[in-house]
Amino acid sequence: MSVAIVILNWNGKKLLEEFLPSIMQFSEGATIYMADNASSDDSVSFVSEKFPEIRIIQNKVNGGFSKGYNDALSSLSEDIFILLNSDVEVTENWLGPVLSEFSKDESLVAAQPKILDYNNKDYFEYAGAAGGYIDKLGYPYCRGRVFNSIEKDEGQYDDIVEIFWATGACLFVKREAFWKTGGLDEDFFSHQEEIDLCWRMQANGGTIKYIGTAVIYHVGGATLASSDPKKTFYNFRNTLLILVKNVKSRGIWWVIILRLILDGIAGFQFLLQGKGNHFLAVIKAHFSFYGLLARFLRKRKTQATRLKYFKINSIVWKYFIVKKRNFNTL
């Protein structure tokens, strides 16, 4: 299989300086691309001069994660795309175990390696950890990470298992499946678009896996920190859009109503914590959701499925009420 590692960049010269060396060292056999989202810094010239082996794709606009990758991948012909964040340190043999699984399992359309915290390497990293799931209300959680409770890596997830979503921080995906599904939904712009993509690929008969024998280290929040209200906006809005778009059951509207109520509670918690900007971000997220609802109802007509997408009704109940903070106790 031919492999394309595609690193999306926007004004990320410092990250490229730090993390490209490990990618160059441990990615033998793969073609490495930097897809630049109309950066205004000198990251393109830096990569051209310091890493001439890397092929540069220059997008005309900063269309965020979704459009940025769609534009970049449209010109590539490799069998496997690896969508890799610019704040990732890879390790020796990070490609081998994942590519081997693609060779063995014809139904496999997407996968991720073990994601550990670059700044605390004994622990899992928030964005992906050991593979992702969502509950009935659309709240994402991971093996190794439930809300803000992060597990120490003690080998408990050194396995290969099916998961519901693989992280966009390091997403291995078959080119054929990616385009058959329609690529990333550009209405999301950023955050949780990989959950939507994995959902649709599974609806088409594919499987998603976590490969715990491959390891990378992710900084997380290097391009958009958790303290940024924009992250709150996209996370709250996009979860609602994902549910409307993908769940065929009529009962989804009760789920949406309950989720809107819980979002309101979360918004007031932000306010009580003195995070007024995040409170406003939740309100803006809901208004943006209403503005996009008609468009997503049209998508729902062709894309909603009866795919079983959750194992737990409410991770909020399990975590905050029952006090289950570890994935293996859920």
What's the pLDDT tens digit per position in 47-90? Answer: 999 999 999 999 999 999 999 999 999 999 999 999 999 999 99
Please count the other Cβ atoms lying within 10 Å of the Cβ belonging to residue 330: 17
What's the pLDDT tens digit per position in 312-324? Answer: 999 999 999 999 9
Region 141-149: what's the mean pLDDT? 97
Supply the pLDDT for residue 189: 87
In a domain, 208, yes or no: yes
Please count the other Cβ atoms lying within 10 Å of the Cβ belonging to residue 289: 20
CATH number of the domain to which 119 belongs: 3.90.550.10
What's the pLDDT tens digit per position in 286-319? Answer: 999 999 999 999 999 999 999 999 999 999 999 9
In a domain, 122, yes or no: yes
Residues spanned by the domain of 252:
229-306
Does one domain contain both 209 and 286?
Answer: no
Supply the pLDDT for residue 317: 96
Does one domain contain both 90 and 172?
Answer: yes
Supply the pLDDT for residue 223: 58
- To 5 degrees, how large is the angle CA 181–CA 2–CA 191? 40
Q: How confident is the model at residue 190 (pLDDT cuts 50, 70, 90)?
A: confident
Does one domain contain both 246 and 199?
Answer: no
Is the pLDDT reported for residue 222 higher than 70?
no
Is the pLDDT reported for residue 224 higher than 80?
no
Is the pLDDT reported for residue 226 higher than 90?
no
Region 84-103: what's the mean pLDDT? 98
Q: Of the residues 218, 239, 264, which one is the last residue of a structural domain? A: 218
pTM, rounded to two decimals: 0.96
Does one domain contain both 201 and 248?
Answer: no
Q: Of 296, 259, 295, 264, nearest to 280 (Cα)? A: 264
3-state secondary structure the chain: CCEEEEEEECCCHHHHHHHHHHHHHHCCCCEEEEEEECCCCCHHHHHHHHCCCCEEEEECCCCHHHHHHHHHHCCCCCCEEEEECCCEEECCCCCHHHHHHHHHCCCEEEEEEEEEECCEEEEECCCCCCCEEECCCCCEEECCEECCEECECCCCCCCEEECCECCCCEEEEEHHHHHHCCCCCCCCCCCCHHHHHHHHHHHCCCEEEEEEEEEEEECCCCCCCCCCHHHHHHHHHHHHHHHHHHECCCCHHHHHHHHHHHHHHHHHHHHHCCCHHHHHHHHHHHHHHHHHHHHHHHHHHHHCECCCCECCCCHHHHHHHCCCCCHHHC
